[in-house]
Amino acid sequence: MGSRKNTMKKIKLALISVYDKNNLKFLIKNLNKFKIKLISSGGTYKEIKKMGFECEEVSKFTNSSEILSGRVKTLHPKIHAGILSERKLKSHKNDLKKNNYNEIDLVVANFYPFENILVRTKNHKKIINNIDIGGPTMVRAAAKNYSNVTVITNLSQYESLIENMKQNKGGTSLDFRKKVALEAFGETAYYESLIYNYFNSISSSKFPKKIVFGLNRFEKLRYGENPHQDGAIYTSSGNLGLSKLNGKQLSYNNYSDVFAALQISKNFPKKRGTVIVKHGNPCGASIHQNNNESFTLAYNTDPLSAFGGIISCNFKINKKLALKLNKIFFEVIIGCGFDKDALSILRRKKNLRLIDSKNHKLSNKNNFISNMDFALTQEPDVKDFKYTDFKIVSKVRPNRRTFENLIFAFNICRFVKSNGIVLINENSTVGIGSGQPSRLDSCEIAIKKMKKFQNTFNKEILAASDAFFPFVDGVEKLVQNGVTGIIQPSGSIRDKEIINFANKTGTVLVFSKTRHFKH
- Tell which residue, 168, 179, 178, 108, has the closest CA to residue 147: 178
- The residues, any chain, with a CB within 8 Å of residue 271's CB and separated by 6 or more, are 291, 314, 315, 316, 336
- Tell which residue, 109, 111, 105, 106, has the closest CA to residue 133: 111
Q: Tell me, what DSSP letter sits at residue 387?
A: G
φ, ψ of residue 322 to 5 degrees: the values are -60, -40
User: Got the DSSP string for 424-487?
Assistant: ESSSBEEEEE-S-SSHHHHHHHHHHHHHHH---TTS-EEEEESS--SSHHHHHHHHHTTEEEEE
Distance CA 10, CA 102 (A): 14
Amino acid sitting at position 324? K
Distance CA 297, CA 423 (A): 13
Distance CA 404, CA 157 (A): 57
CA 519 to chain centre: 20
φ, ψ of residue 221 to 5 degrees: the values are -95, 160
279 is catalytic: yes
Q: Tell me, what DSSP letter sits at residue 317?
A: B
Question: Within 13 Å and on the Cβ side, how many CA atoms surround 430?
Answer: 22
Amino acid sitting at position 444? E
- The three-point CA angle 95-100-101 to 5° equals 75
Contact at 8 Å (CB) between 338 and 346?
yes
Q: Among positive and negative, which fits the CA dihedral 65, 68, 73, 74?
A: negative
76 is catalytic: no
Q: Tell me, what DSSP letter sits at residue 252?
A: H
Q: Among positive and negative, which fits the CA dihedral 496, 500, 505, 507?
A: positive
For 183-206, letters b (16+ CB in 10 Å) and e give ebbebbebbbbbbebbebeeeeee
Residue in 10, 93, 279, 320 annotated catalytic = 279
Residue in 76, 93, 144, 451 annotated catalytic = 144
- Whether the bond between 419 and the residue before it is cis, its omega within 30 degrees of 0, is yes
- The residues, any chain, with a CB within 8 Å of residue 272's CB and separated by 6 or more, are 287, 289, 291, 294, 314, 315
Strand partners, 428: 286
List, by residue number, the catalytic residues: 144, 279
